[in-house]
Amino acid sequence: MAHKKMINEHHIKIAGITVFFASLFILLAVRLFLLQVYRKDFFTNLAKHQYTTTITIAPPRAPIYDRTGNFPLAYNQEVLSAFLLPQHITQPKKLYRFLKKHYNDAYKKLKKKKNKHFMWLDRKLPADKASFLQNQQLDDIQFTQEAQRTYSCHDCGHVIGFSDIDNKGIAGLELFFDKQLAGAPQQITLEKDARRAGNYFNKTIHNPGISGAPIVTSIDRTLQFFATQELEKAVTFHQAKAGSAIIMDPITGEILAMANYPTFNPNERPSANLETTKNNAITDCFELGSVVKMFCTLAAYEENVVAYDEIIDCKGKSAYIDGFKIENWKSVGELPFYDVIKNSSNVGVAIIAKRLGKKFYDHLRRLGFGSKTGIEFPGERKGFVNPPEKWSKSSLLVMSFGYEITASILQLARAIGIIANGGYAFQPTLLAQHSTRQGEQLYSSQAITTTKKTLEHIGNKYPIPGFRVMAKTGTARCVKDGKYSKKAHVYTFGGIIEKENYKRVIVTFVQEPSQANLWAAGVAGPIFHNLAQRMVIYETTNTHY
């Protein structure tokens, strides 16, 4: 009996143990079912919430090339950016202490928005700054790579412009072609990668967006360098406020160089002095002085109101016309008309403008003054030509030598280009064309031929061996406090360099040298001459032209 009782007790113990483990197994099975099946989506989402984050960023911005289409003037480089996940801070004391010392603004922002899902700490880090952050061994500071816009040609900064930290164009061609270059945003998921040291995240692209399309500019880097260098020498020597220069192909309308000085480095994301980032050749307008006489000459020949060698009495040092006193810069008497222009007589050209009357205004408008060129650039100004209904007794007279008319350096280059292009209209462009874009014929070949012959008398003072040079100078007073200043002037030189099918227009401009009583021939003229010499040597030895 005792033995049988022991056997029963043993069986009861075995049954109890069996029931216990069976129950435990059932509980585990139910738990696994709940975790892996019934609540699978919940825990999957929780894991993703804890270890992944999704952000929307722009795709790599398309490059901007020089006229060869091979050299990028603006391109992208991959750099590190640092960010935080405020909802998942694991070392708050350590992180806050670091942020308060090195990123106080971020510290304040994080304290206010602890429930924020994602927060940038510092973007597009220089190598030394990235290394500094990585060496802090702060698990809460995460890193990912971003594309940073980089500019290879500082001389081109005024034309190319620059973008902001989000690679959105905010100046120059970067702004004008922003949609084309940027494409459409992409959506990416950043996932923590346990296989790597540090806090780097894997990047998964969910929505690739649309890649941006590159643009090929008309800019020749070498000519741009020449123009900037010559401007720098002149502006520095004359202690001037600024300078600009344009080299244009009047056949295609391409701007081969458009330089301004002082320059700036677009890689430094300028913010302190935005004035230095303006492309003054397009965005600023001035009264340009006697350079306008070349257009009075063209209009006079077109309207047959003067002959090339007609004798004009320039009245010595000054004369009264319609009761208004006009002064010559030097005393000149009776001269053939071509010498009136060569000697830049204000009296002589005013006499011819009187013959033109209101037609002179029509010709200035025909040449594009008072209208935007339509170039692919933001912020272009249209300038101003005083209309006949607002003329005073002196308006027509002073307009003949460059007052009551304001224009940009680009507008001046376009007008000269019409002369260079045989009297045909054309469209200035900052994009590579490599083909003729000839428009409507605005002037007769006879008027163009005679105008070029007249301007050649000035161009001969700036010889380029083997090339024909036609040019005109311009000196104008600046308006200060509502009055024309006797000290502040702008100096302009516009000219054409020609040999058979080779044609170039160069305009040079210097604003407000510190010294008064200068003339454009000695300020802007040398820039033109030096630049033209370097240009023809370079271009005639390069077969891509």
The full DSSP string for 353-397 is HHHHTTHHHHHHHHTTTTS----S-TT----EE--GGG--TTHHH
Say if residue 207 is in the same domain as residue 63. Answer: yes
Average pLDDT over every residue of 14-21: 64
Say if residue 192 is in the same domain as residue 79. Answer: yes
- The pLDDT tens digits of the residues spanning 488-514 come to 999 999 999 999 999 999 999 999 999
Say if residue 93 is in the same domain as residue 206. Answer: yes
Go through the chain and tell me how many residues it has. Answer: 545
89 falls within a domain: yes
Tell me the chain's radius of gyration from C-alpha atoms.
Answer: 36
Percent of the chain's residues with pLDDT above 90: 65
270 falls within a domain: no
18 falls within a domain: no
Say if residue 308 is in the same domain as residue 447. Answer: yes
The pLDDT confidence band at residue 297, using thresholds 50, 70 and 90, is very high
CATH number at residue 127: 3.90.1310.10
272 falls within a domain: no
Say if residue 360 is in the same domain as residue 251. Answer: yes
Contact call for residues 148 and 76 (beta carbons, < 8 A): yes
The pLDDT confidence band at residue 167, using thresholds 50, 70 and 90, is confident
313 falls within a domain: yes
Per-residue pLDDT, 161: 95
Would the pLDDT of 258 be above 90? yes
Say if residue 202 is in the same domain as residue 298. Answer: no
E runs forming strands in 452-501: 468-480, 483-499
Give φ, ψ of 118 to 5 degrees: -145, 145
Question: C-alpha distances in angstroms, 336 versus 345, 352, 461, 473?
Answer: 11, 12, 18, 19
Say if residue 231 is in the same domain as residue 363. Answer: yes
Look over the chain and give the mean of its residue pLDDT values, rounded to a whole number: 88
Residues 6+ apart with CB under 8 A from 75: 63, 64, 149, 150, 152
Say if residue 77 is in the same domain as residue 196. Answer: yes
Per-residue pLDDT, 43: 47
The residue that leads in pLDDT, 280 or 204, is 280
Contact call for residues 79 and 144 (beta carbons, < 8 A): no
Question: C-alpha distances in angstroms, 536 versus 222, 333, 431, 464, 529?
Answer: 12, 38, 22, 8, 11
Per-residue pLDDT, 34: 52
The residue that leads in pLDDT, 58 or 541, is 541
Would the pLDDT of 110 be above 80? yes
Q: How many domains does the chain have?
A: 2
Residues 6+ apart with CB under 8 A from 251: 421, 426, 436, 438, 501, 503
The pLDDT confidence band at residue 108, using thresholds 50, 70 and 90, is confident
Bridge partners, 464 (sequence order): 467
**Eight-class DSSP state of 273:** -
Range of the structural domain that residue 395 is part of:
221-264+280-540
- The pLDDT tens digits of the residues spanning 202-230 come to 667 766 678 889 999 999 999 999 999 99
SS3 327: strand
2 falls within a domain: no
Per-residue pLDDT, 531: 98
Say if residue 315 is in the same domain as residue 449. Answer: yes
The one-letter amino acid at 323: G
The residue that leads in pLDDT, 107 or 295, is 295
Would the pLDDT of 106 be above 90? no
Per-residue pLDDT, 40: 54
Say if residue 211 is in the same domain as residue 244. Answer: no
- The pLDDT tens digits of the residues spanning 456-477 come to 999 999 999 999 999 999 999 9
Four-CA torsion 414, 415, 419, 423, nearest 10 degrees: 90
Per-residue pLDDT, 198: 46
SS3 367: coil
Say if residue 329 is in the same domain as residue 466. Answer: yes
C-alpha span between 535 and 252 (Å, rounded): 17
Would the pLDDT of 105 be above 50? yes
38 falls within a domain: no
Which tokens is 392 given?
């005073």
The pLDDT confidence band at residue 41, using thresholds 50, 70 and 90, is low
Contact call for residues 95 and 247 (beta carbons, < 8 A): no
Percent of the chain's residues with pLDDT above 70: 84
Neighbours of 317 (CB within 10 A): 12
Average pLDDT over every residue of 57-84: 90
Q: Among the ranges 24-28, 29-33, 129-133, which has the highest mean pLDDT value? A: 129-133
The distance in angstroms from the start CA to the end CA of the chain is: 120
C-alpha span between 476 and 489 (Å, rounded): 6
Contact call for residues 240 and 204 (beta carbons, < 8 A): no
Average pLDDT over every residue of 235-240: 97
Say if residue 124 is in the same domain as residue 230. Answer: no
Instruction: Report pTM.
Output: 0.84
Would the pLDDT of 6 be above 90? no
16 falls within a domain: no
Average pLDDT over every residue of 323-339: 95
- The pLDDT tens digits of the residues spanning 78-87 come to 889 999 888 8
Per-residue pLDDT, 86: 87
